[in-house]
Amino acid sequence: MELADRAALAGDVPVGALVVRGSAALGVGWNTREARNDPAGHAEIAALREAAQAVGDWRLEGCDLYVTLEPCTMCAGAIVASRVARVVFGAWDPKAGAAGSVRDVLRDARLNHRVEVVGGVCEDECSRQLRAFFGR
């Protein structure tokens, strides 16, 4: 949630992400679409890129990704492609979620990799953070 605060301070939707293997944090990210005029500037993408650089491989097998909001379709595709083992997220996204709410890209049996999904962790706090940003 602290990473999500970084996004909000820059005028972006407060979403933060962290890639971990064992007890080591490998990559962090927060939304930067507004700050960098980057349509792919999602927290998950930034965290995955940093983690891949840290391990020297695009394959992030054995890694977990923690994120404050359910990943969208773009991020879910990147998560599957990077072979992340598990995604743990806070708030569900009933408009664009791709980890079980609107779609379930992460566990789609037609893809070459499936990801374990744990949703709703610290859901109230993450949802509150998002609602505060949007003024509701």
Q: In the chain, what percentage of residues exceed pLDDT 70?
A: 99
Tell me if 113 is assigned to a ligand binding site: no
Domains of the chain by start residue, with CATH:
1-135 (3.40.140.10)
Of the candidates 44, 61, 70, 123, the residue annotated as catalytic is: 44
Tell me if 42 is assigned to a ligand binding site: yes
Q: Would you list the DSSP string of the chain?
A: -HHHHHHHHTTS---EEEEEETTEEEEEEE--HHHHT-TT--HHHHHHHHHHHHHTSS--TT-EEEEEE---HHHHHHHHHTT-SEEEEEE--TTT-TBTTS-BGGG-TTSS---EEE--TTHHHHHHHHHHHTT-
pTM metric for this prediction: 0.96
Tell me whether residue 44 is one of the annotated catalytic residues: yes
pLDDT at position 111, please? 95
